[in-house]
Amino acid sequence: MNWYLEVLRKYAVFTGRSRRKEYWYYFLINFLIITLLLLVDNMLGTLDREAGMGLISGLYALAVLIPNLAVAVRRLHDTGRTGWWVLLALIPIVGPIVLIFFLIQDSVPGDNQYGPNPKADSKGDFA
């Protein structure tokens, strides 16, 4: 849960780097929350099946849109890529697959143009 809250604390921070652990734990918790909210929307009758979203889940998705983009950009920075690669998600089928491949890659060791490696602890060792 700390990884999720950490991303929300950095609500619109598009600079720096995010390690895989931060991105994927945030993704998992966000997915679980959306699923739960979709169930609530379904029970309340506010689920629009055509849109695949309900009132409550839609408001939540809108609220976390910026953090979703920000953590994805920071994750791409961690792999040594510019954040503009996140636009690959707009290309049908192939784009999201390539983007996922980029997001699962390991960090670039050491510092890069986007900042210090987030895996490094205070001694400079890697965790």
Question: Per residue in 92-115, pLDDT tens?
Answer: 999 999 999 999 999 999 999 999
Would you say the pTM of this structure is higher than 0.75? yes
Q: What is the reported pLDDT for 67?
A: 97
Instruction: Provide the pLDDT for residue 28.
Output: 97
User: Are 55 and 46 in contact, with CB atoms under 8 Å apart?
Assistant: yes
125: tokens are 């060792």
Bridge partners of 48, per DSSP, are 53
Q: Residue 16's pLDDT is what?
A: 95
- Amino acid present at 57: S
Q: Is the pLDDT of residue 127 over 60?
A: no
| Cα–Cα dist 34/85, whole Å | 25
Tens-place pLDDT, residues 21-74: 999 999 999 999 999 999 999 999 999 999 889 999 999 999 999 999 999 999
Residue type, 81: R
